[in-house]
Structure 1
Amino acid sequence: MLDERKVKLMTRLALYEETEGKEDFKISAYYRKDYVSLHMLCAFIWVTIGYICVVAMAVLAGLDSLLGHMSMAVMVLMGGMAVVGWLAVVIIYLMIASHIYNKKHKNSRQRVKKYNHDLTRLLKMYGRNDSQDSQDLQE
């Protein structure tokens, strides 16, 4: 005879495995620090590439006025502003990315712990049924 609690629990476990579970298992395979560091490195690279593209487009858009006012002082000032702007963008973006990926890893680990707890409950349910079945056979 089917136990309704076991069926509900198995359904919930299967649904989790097919939806959030795939990503959660990948995330929880990493230590939190490693997961966050990896994604912050990727974010650093992509923010730097994006910033270079934006600065290059701005330089190309204002190339006529830049060539008209070109001097060594202006070039040094613009280069310094570009570096300071890059540092500001990178620091802000990495702080945001760190917060997001820490939270994502924490939530993923909590869901995986709940999944493991439910698996343990299911295993105990099967253990109880097996012991009852063996007692019924002995009688």
Structure 2
Amino acid sequence: MLDERKVKLMTKLALYEETYGKEDFKISSYYRKDYASLHVIYAFLSVSVGYVCLVALLLLAGVEDIMSNMSNGLILFLFLIILAGYVGVVIVYCGIASHIYNEKHKKARKRVKKYNHNLIQLLKMYEKEKR
């Protein structure tokens, strides 16, 4: 005879495995700090490449104006603005990435714990049935 509670629990477990399960198991295999740090490094690299491309594009677009007014003071001023912008963008972007991936790990870990709890409940039901 089918036990309705077991069927509901197995359905819940199967639904979780199909929706969040695969990604959550990968995420929760890391420590939270390691997971967030890895993604912050990826974010740092991607924002660095993007910023360099943006600055190169803007410099190429305004190279005629820069060359006509070229002086050491102007070059130093542009360099400092570009550097300050880079540092600001990197700090903000990496801070946001750190927060997002820490939260993502917490939520995934919470869902995996609930999944494990449900598996234990199902195992207990099977053991009770064997007796």
Normalising by the smaller structure, the TM-score range is over 0.9
Give the structure 2 partner of residue 4 of structure 1.
4
Give the structure 2 partner of residue 97 of structure 1.
97
Give the structure 2 partner of residue 126 of structure 1.
126
- The whole-number CA distance in structure 1 between the counterparts of 2:3 and 2:67 is 80
Give the structure 1 partner of residue 88 of structure 2.
88
Deviation of the 1:63 alpha carbon? 1.1
In the alignment, structure 1 segments of 5+ residues that lack a partner are 132-139
Deviation of the 1:71 alpha carbon? 1.0
Map 1:50-129; keep pairs closer than 5 Å.
50-129=50-129
Give the structure 2 partner of residue 136 of structure 1.
none
Deviation of the 1:74 alpha carbon? 0.8
Aligned-partner SS, 1:90:
helix
Map 1:38-57; keep pairs closer than 5 Å.
38-57=38-57
RMSD: 0.5
- The whole-number CA distance in structure 2 between the counterparts of 1:83 and 1:130 is 69
Identity %: 59
Give the structure 1 partner of residue 14 of structure 2.
14
In the alignment, structure 2 segments of 5+ residues that lack a partner are none
Give the structure 1 partner of residue 26 of structure 2.
26
Q: TM-score, normalised by structure 2?
A: 0.98
Deviation of the 1:48 alpha carbon? 0.3
The 4+ residue runs of structure 1 with deviation greater than 2 A are: none
**Which of the pair has more CA radius of gyration?**
1
Deviation of the 1:76 alpha carbon? 1.0
Q: Deviations over 1:15-70 (max 9, x none)?
A: 11111000000000000000000000000000000000110111011111111111
Count the aligned residue pairs: 131
